[in-house]
Amino acid sequence: MSPNPDPASLPARSSSICRNSCIAHNVESPDLGAYEAAINELVCQNCKSSPTAGDYCADGQIRSCPLSRYSGDVVDVLEKAEQAWRRGK
């Protein structure tokens, strides 16, 4: 696997942290909405943690899902980790 795979190519069983890392790498936008849309498409659609996972996930809508609640922090940390990795190359 290449170091920066296309998140859509990751298997459904792939961990959400791996998918989020790919999203943080591939989405370039100052707007968190672009990241949330990518997370919804690439993580939420395959979620096994909520019986209503997907476009109309109740946990995501009321922000009881940790990824929904902390997606901004997740993206921020992953982008900082990638920047540190690039500096260390």
Please tell me which of 18-27, 57-66, 80-89 the model is most confident about, judged by mean pLDDT. 57-66
Check pLDDT > 80 for residue 10.
no
Check pLDDT > 50 for residue 79.
yes
Alpha-carbon span 68 to 39, nearest angstrom: 9
Q: What are phi and psi of 81, to 5 degrees?
A: -65, -40
Cβ-based neighbour number of residue 27 at 10 Å: 17
pLDDT tens per residue across span 69-78: 888 888 888 8
Mean pLDDT of 50-79: 87
Non-local CB neighbours of 63 within 8 Å, separated by 6+ positions:
69
The secondary structure of residue 43, as a DSSP letter, is T
Non-local CB neighbours of 48 within 8 Å, separated by 6+ positions:
none
